[in-house]
């Protein structure tokens, strides 16, 4: 749900044994049913492997920023799917996202014995424990060891949990000590009344409920009739099966054994037997753009193979005719790229095919959905993002689409001053003072206007707001898309989708973001960190954003739920985090200066106000030492980069020499981290002396060398990130950087990275061939982490993070489970980048087409 920092690094190639290759083509059913215990599990590198099975032991760790990311502890990959995770000691049966998690102290791997041990602790509870794993034939023996007896306060609370992905067990059954049961499609467990847990504070928070076990036994077999999901678990202590979805929609099925009180040493043992299938092979994946290709661009399909798959059939490109016939256009053996992550890769180049039409690719029994070759391919690819995704993301507005109301006018009671010395659960914090004229808890008027929901949640993150405004302004100034399919009335706060109103939609979105940025300066005099729900209960709200609060400003003199004179006694208003940060001020000034140019002639009053504020911020920030408040990823980027951006945008808006002089002075620091500011640096070239461009050349050459190296680092030729947040954003930034540098330095930087980036985003990536932009391409994300994620649905035009690399090398993107935010969460800034990137590709293609035509 949260805003997540994106850590960019080129993934080193990690070799996994051929036996571990992801499954897809299963062995005969009879062999699969007999395989399980007979196939031996062994330690390979620092994880366990058997045919079609991997067992990871703390290879991945919880994301400390967001607590439980469902990526840690004991994890099971079986026939190509990660079906279990979070095997660890937990303090409740179905822990939620912010419940306490053990801290990893040490991890030891003994290659001689095959034993892996992880030592962990709950420091606040003075509780330390060791989880030990060792191979036993076709099983893993898991032990929990206690150097000291369980603290009395944790008796009946601490237990070993192993969580199983619900989507993997929908329509499946289980046996508990031989007694049959079925996994429910929708949660319906019996509950018991308890004190409500508040994971953020650790305190009881009124009445609550906990699920009771669905089944209890010492011998569990999950999905006994499905060889792709069968897991056998035997324990020396009772095991209980819970459905975590009764407490939260993102909960999992949990097997749990309580730890005994008063004992030390080995206090619990589980024997875990995944179903190993010798000879099982994963079906080849043909990575390609689900949207298609322009005639002139490079066209390379990347074929992803199980490392044990030695078959090498020819690949075929088929053209689909009007009668449904398929005519082979190109047939050849793909070239061998080599190993990457856990797979082997081939490449099938069909760049010489330029005839417009409808095509499919085949490799052995694998076959793609149809895609196009067309000159106008990118001309409309961005339409769902502007037509659907951004209207749905508009805060403080009633958004209607024909018969459907996406949400009412949300957060009309924005916002209350956040309390001082307070750290929020989602990367926001308030420092020791409010830095405003408002007392903690006091209503700050004027903030209930403009802005977009930051991501799959409902907060307004200022850093996102100005980043999106700047991206949209670049798209407007460079490509001037006049598309008009949406009516936006800021006065009545109403949006009607698919109803033109005579105004370019992109300008209306720029205005909407600008209104929020301006409102912050009007309200408190500086940019604020953001506006967000105050507690876990409201933060996790799913449904109509307008129902998250009552829409009335809080009045502490009224009783809860009372309403009088447009005020309410219910303290449900969002909090505004207002600690002053110079980086945010500069970033907002950059966004406002950019908006002033785009809005001129469209909304002159707002354009003038935006520029006035931007220049005032610049003067103010240069009159005192910088305010260096930093927290999470909500207080702006590096100070020098944000100031540089403000200088460039102000120079473009005013042509004043003071900004050019500051750009020149900042350049040496920008050159040291060129990639992050390359687009901004290139934007300044037309307004700077020729010496500025000349000074950029070494940095541009170094960037191009790194770009070229990517084609050796991975088969996709783009940066593939390896952190807890997948890399669609990094790939789009790479493509946009390439476009900016190609325009400014065409003799140094080619245009191909723009198309490689789009191909990656739209299906040519590890793990699958699905488009990571919902509604764009033949097969795209249809189960995503939007604010409608509990419906297992999507928002057209939204961009998800994509292929998450589960260490040591398993690319994952679930289309059956939306709640993996690091894989499936829409982020507003990535939507804006997609609009910009597809228009860039269209412009390059148009230029090539014009050249051919001339």
Q: Are residues 416 and 341 in the same domain?
A: no
Q: In 3-state terms, what secondary structure has residue 275?
A: coil
Note whether residue 832 is domain-resident. Answer: no
Q: In 3-state terms, what secondary structure has residue 578?
A: coil
Note whether residue 454 is domain-resident. Answer: yes
Please count the structural domains in the chain: 3
Note whether residue 130 is domain-resident. Answer: yes
Note whether residue 410 is domain-resident. Answer: yes
Q: Are residues 260 and 137 in the same domain?
A: yes
| Torsion-angle region of 774 (φ positive above 0: left; ψ -120 to 50: alpha; else: beta) | beta
The token pair at 826 is 């829409």
For residue 304, the domain's CATH number is 2.60.40.10
Confidence band of 39 (pLDDT split at 50, 70, 90): low
The Cα 444–Cα 415 span in angstroms is 6
Q: In 3-state terms, what secondary structure has residue 844?
A: helix
> Stretch 109-131: mean pLDDT, rounded?
97
pLDDT at 834 over 90: yes
Q: DSSP code of 297? A: S
The size of the chain, in residues, is 854
pLDDT at 63 over 80: no
The side-by-side arrangement of strands in the sheet containing 404-407 is: 404-407, 398-401, 494-497, 486-489
Q: Are residues 322 and 466 in the same domain?
A: no
User: Where does a domain end: 373, 400, 431?
Assistant: 373
Range list of β-strands (E), 550-681: 553-554, 563-564, 567-568, 575-577
Asked if residues 798 and 553 have their Cβ atoms less than 8 Å apart, the reply is no
> Residues 6 or more apart from 784 whose CB is under 8 A from it?
774, 793, 794, 795, 798, 800, 818, 824, 825, 826
pLDDT at residue 445, rounded to an integer: 97
Place of tokens 């109803």: 499
Per-residue burial over 456-466, b = 16 or more CB atoms within 10 Å of its CB, e = otherwise = bbbbbbbbbbb
> Stretch 572-589: mean pLDDT, rounded?
98
> Stretch 744-759: mean pLDDT, rounded?
98
The token pair at 574 is 């969002």
Q: Are residues 242 and 317 in the same domain?
A: no
- pLDDT, the chain, mean: 92
Q: DSSP code of 370? A: P
Note whether residue 578 is domain-resident. Answer: yes
195 or 839, which is more confident? 839
55 φ/ψ angles, rounded to the nearest 5 degrees: -125, 120
* pTM, two decimal places: 0.93
Q: Are residues 426 and 557 in the same domain?
A: yes
Note whether residue 350 is domain-resident. Answer: yes
Asked if residues 316 and 330 have their Cβ atoms less than 8 Å apart, the reply is yes
What is the extent of the structural domain holding 335? 285-373
Q: Are residues 330 and 429 in the same domain?
A: no
pLDDT at residue 749, rounded to an integer: 98
User: Where does a domain end: 239, 274, 309?
Assistant: 274
Q: Are residues 346 and 425 in the same domain?
A: no
Note whether residue 315 is domain-resident. Answer: yes
User: Where does a domain end: 211, 242, 274?
Assistant: 274
**Per-residue model confidence as pLDDT tens digits over 768-809:** 999 999 999 999 999 999 999 999 999 999 999 999 999 999
> Stretch 578-599: mean pLDDT, rounded?
98
The Cα 61–Cα 77 span in angstroms is 16
**Per-residue model confidence as pLDDT tens digits over 169-226:** 999 999 999 999 999 999 988 999 887 665 544 444 556 889 999 999 999 999 999 9
The Cα 160–Cα 254 span in angstroms is 10
Note whether residue 176 is domain-resident. Answer: no
The Cα 707–Cα 719 span in angstroms is 9
Q: Are residues 262 and 318 in the same domain?
A: no
**Per-residue model confidence as pLDDT tens digits over 66-98:** 668 899 999 999 999 999 999 999 999 999 888
Confidence band of 34 (pLDDT split at 50, 70, 90): very low
Q: Are residues 261 and 121 in the same domain?
A: yes
Q: Are residues 240 and 348 in the same domain?
A: no
Q: Mind giving me the DSSP string for 694-714?
A: HHHHHHHHHHHHHHHHHHHHS
Quick one: how far is CA 414 from the chain centroid?
Answer: 27
Q: Are residues 307 and 236 in the same domain?
A: no
> Stretch 536-552: mean pLDDT, rounded?
92
Q: Are residues 302 and 409 in the same domain?
A: no
For residue 449, the domain's CATH number is 1.50.10.10
Helix, strand, coil percentages, rounded to 5, for the chain: 30, 30, 45
The token pair at 111 is 């290659």
Q: In 3-state terms, what secondary structure has residue 450?
A: coil
């Amino acid at each position: 749900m949260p805003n997540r920092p994106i850590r960019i690094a080129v993934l080193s190639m990690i070799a996994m044994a051929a036996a571990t290759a992801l499954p897809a083509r299963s062995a005969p059913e009879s062999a699969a049913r007999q395989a399980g215990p007979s196939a031996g599990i062994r330690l390979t590198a620092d994880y366990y492997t058997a045919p079609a099975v991997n067992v990871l032991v703390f290879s991945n760790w919880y994301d400390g920023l967001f607590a439980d990311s469902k990526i840690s502890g004991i994890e099971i990959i079986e026939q190509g799917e990660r079906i279990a995770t979070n095997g660890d000691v937990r303090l409740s049966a179905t822990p939620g996202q912010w419940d306490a998690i053990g801290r990893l102290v040490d991890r030891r791997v003994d290659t001689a014995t095959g034993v892996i041990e992880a030592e962990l602790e709950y420091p606040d509870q003075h509780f330390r424990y060791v989880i030990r794993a060792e191979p036993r034939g076709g099983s893993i023996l898991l032990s929990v060891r206690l150097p000291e007896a369980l603290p009395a306060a944790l008796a009946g609370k601490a237990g070993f949990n192993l969580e199983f992905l619900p989507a993997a067990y929908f329509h499946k059954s289980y046996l508990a000590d031989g007694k049959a049961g079925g996994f429910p499609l929708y949660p319906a467990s019996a509950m018991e009344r308890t004190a409500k847990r508040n994971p953020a504070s650790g305190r009881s928070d009124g009445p609550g409920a906990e699920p009771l076990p669905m089944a209890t036994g010492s011998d569990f077999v999950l999905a006994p009739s499905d060889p792709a999901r069968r897991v056998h678990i035997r324990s020396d202590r009772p095991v209980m099966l819970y459905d975590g979805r009764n407490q939260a929609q993102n909960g999992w099925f949990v097997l749990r054994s309580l730890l005994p009180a008063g004992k030390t040493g080995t206090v619990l043992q589980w024997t875990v037997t995944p179903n190993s299938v010798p000879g099982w092979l994963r079906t080849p994946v043909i990575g390609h753009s689900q949207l298609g290709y322009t005639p002139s661009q490079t066209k390379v399909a990347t074929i992803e193979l199980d490392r044990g798959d030695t078959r090498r059939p020819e690949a075929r490109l088929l053209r689909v005719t009007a009668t449904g016939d398929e005519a082979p256009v190109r047939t050849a053996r793909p070239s061998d790229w080599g190993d990457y992550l856990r797979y082997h890769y081939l490449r099938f180049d069909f760049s010489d095919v330029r005839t417009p039409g409808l095509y499919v690719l085949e490799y052995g029994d694998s076959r793609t959905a149809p895609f196009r070759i067309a000159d106008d391919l990118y001309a409309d690819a961005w339409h769902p993002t502007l037509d659907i995704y951004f209207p749905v993301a508009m805060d403080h507005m009633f958004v209607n689409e024909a018969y459907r109301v996406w949400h009412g006018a949300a957060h009309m009671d924005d916002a209350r001053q956040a309390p001082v010395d307070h750290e929020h659960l989602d990367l926001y914090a308030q420092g020791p003072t409010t830095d405003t004229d408002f007392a903690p808890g006091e209503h700050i008027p004027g903030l209930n206007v403009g802005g977009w929901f930051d991501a799959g949640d409902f907060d307004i993150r200022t850093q996102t707001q100005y980043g999106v405004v700047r991206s949209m302004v670049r798209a407007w100034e460079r490509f001037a898309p006049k598309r008009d399919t949406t009516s936006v009335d800021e006065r009545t706060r109403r949006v009607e989708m698919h109803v033109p109103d005579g105004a370019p939609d992109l300008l209306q979105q720029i205005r909407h973001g600008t209104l929020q940025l301006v409102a912050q300066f009007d309200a408190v005099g500086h940019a604020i960190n953001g506006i967000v729900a105050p507690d876990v209960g409201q933060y996790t709200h799913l449904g109509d954003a307008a129902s998250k609060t009552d829409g009335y400003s809080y009045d502490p003199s009224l009783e809860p739920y009372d309403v009088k004179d447009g005020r309410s006694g219910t303290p449900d208003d969002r909090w505004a985090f207002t600690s002053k940060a110079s980086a945010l001020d500069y970033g907002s000034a950059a966004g406002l200066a950019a908006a002033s140019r785009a809005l001129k002639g469209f909304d002159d009053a707002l354009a003038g106000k935006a520029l006035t504020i931007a220049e005032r911020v610049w003067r103010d920030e240069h009159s005192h030492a910088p305010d260096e408040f930093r927290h999470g990823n909500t207080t702006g980027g590096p100070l020098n980069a944000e100031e540089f951006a403000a200088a460039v945008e102000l120079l473009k808006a005013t042509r004043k020499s003071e900004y050019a002089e500051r750009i020149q002075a900042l350049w040496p620091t920008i050159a040291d981290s060129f990639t992050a500011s390359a687009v901004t640096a290139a934007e300044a070239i037309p307004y700077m002396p020729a010496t500025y461009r000349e000074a950029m050349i070494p940095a541009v050459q170094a960037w191009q060398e790194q770009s070229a190296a990517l084609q050796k680092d991975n088969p996709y030729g783009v940066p593939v990130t390896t952190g807890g947040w997948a890399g669609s954003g990094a790939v789009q930034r790479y493509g946009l950087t390439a476009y900016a540098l190609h325009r400014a330095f065409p003799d140094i930087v080619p245009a191909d990275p723009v198309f490689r980036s789009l191909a990656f985003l739209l299906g040519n990536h590890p793990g699958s061939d699905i488009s990571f932009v919902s509604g764009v391409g033949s097969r795209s994300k249809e189960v995503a982490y939007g604010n409608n994620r509990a419906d297992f649905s999507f928002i057209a035009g939204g961009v998800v993070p994509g292929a998450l690399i589960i260490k040591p090398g398993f690319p994952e993107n679930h289309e059956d489970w939306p709640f993996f935010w690091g894989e499936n969460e829409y982020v507003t800034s990535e939507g804006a980048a997609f609009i910009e990137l597809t228009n860039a590709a269209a412009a390059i293609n148009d230029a090539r087409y014009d050249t051919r035509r001339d």
